[in-house]
Amino acid sequence: MLKMTHLSKVYRTEVVETYALRDFSIDVKEGEFVAVTGPSGSGKTTFLTIAGLLETFTGGSYHLDGVDVSHLNDNARSKIRNEKIGFIFQAFNLIPDLNVYDNVEVPLRYRGMKAAERKKRIMESLERVGLSSRLKHYPAELSGGQQQRVAIARALAGSPRLLLADEPTGNLDTQMARGVMELLEDIHREGATIVMVTHDPELATRAQRNVHVIDGQVVDVAEDRVFSTSQLAEHSPA
C-alpha cells in the first residue's frame, strides 16, 4: 500500500545541508494500522508530509498503492491526494467560512462529483462520525472533539485508500481524545489503512504495529520506546 525504500529528504540552505530523513524504509500493508512514533524533530512529520504527497523527497523511492510517485507533477499529485489519501490534522484544519456540510464536501468538489453523489457520501460519512445532526453548524460552534470528527468525516468522504493522521488527539482533552481514538479503531476494523504519527506512547499502543523514528531513520524496536522518547526528546530539532 505504502512502500518507501531508502528514502531521503535533505533540506538545503546556503550554509547547511540537513538530513530530515535518511535511508528511510517502511512498508505498510493494505488494512494495517501503523503508528509512527518518535521524539520532536525525529523526522516523523517530514515522513508524513512526504507520504501525503505534500512534499517531494530527495532520494530513494516511494510507491503508493503500487504507483511510483517520484516523478509525478503537481496536478497528478493533487489528484492522488484527492482520491487516495485522507488527512486528519492535529489542528483539525476545518475551513472556518464553511459549515460542517460544506467542509466535508470540499474534497468531493475537487473530484468533480455530481451533487446527488456528493450529498449521499457527505451524509454517510457524517453519520459515521455521529454528527449528522450538525450539518449547518460552523466550526467555531463545535467542540474540539466534534471538529476533529468533522475532519475525519471529511477524510472519509472521498473513500480514500489511505488515512494519514497527524497527532489526531494532540489538541483534545483526554475524554474527547478517547472518543476520536475509538472512532479511528472502528474505521480500521472496517478495513481502512491508517498511518498515524504521534509522540504519545499510549496512543501508539492502540495501533497494530509501531514504527519508531529517530534522527530520520526507522528504528523498528518496540522495546526501546520508553528509552528513546525520554533520551532523544532533549535533542534539538533537525
Which residues are near other proteins by CB under 8 A? 40, 45, 48-49, 52, 54-55, 74-75, 78-83, 85, 87, 89-91, 93, 95-98, 106-107, 109-112, 154, 158, 166-167, 170
Nearer to other proteins (CB atom), residue 74 or residue 223: 74
What is d(CA 156, CA 36) in angstroms, rounded to the nearest whole number? Answer: 21
Shortest distance, position 82 Cβ to other proteins, whole Å = 2
What is d(CA 145, CA 152) in angstroms, rounded to the nearest whole number? Answer: 10
Nearer to other proteins (CB atom), residue 108 or residue 207: 108
Shortest distance, position 85 Cβ to other proteins, whole Å = 8
| The Cα angle at residue 6 between residues 80 and 68, in degrees rounded to 5 | 25
Assess contact for 62 and 4: CB atoms under 8 A.
yes
Shortest distance, position 102 Cβ to other proteins, whole Å = 9
SS3 180: helix
Nearer to other proteins (CB atom), residue 90 or residue 146: 90
Nearer to other proteins (CB atom), residue 60 or residue 86: 86
Nearer to other proteins (CB atom), residue 13 or residue 223: 13
Backbone angles phi, psi at 17, to 5 degrees: -115, 120
Nearer to other proteins (CB atom), residue 60 or residue 158: 158
Shortest distance, position 27 Cβ to other proteins, whole Å = 23
Pick from 49, 51, 67: nearest CA to 162: 51
Shortest distance, position 151 Cβ to other proteins, whole Å = 10
What is d(CA 23, CA 76) in angstroms, rounded to the nearest whole number? Answer: 26
Question: For residue 105, what are the CA distances in angstroms to 26, 112, 164?
Answer: 32, 11, 19
Backbone angles phi, psi at 212, to 5 degrees: -105, 130
Amino acid type, 103: N
Shortest distance, position 127 Cβ to other proteins, whole Å = 21
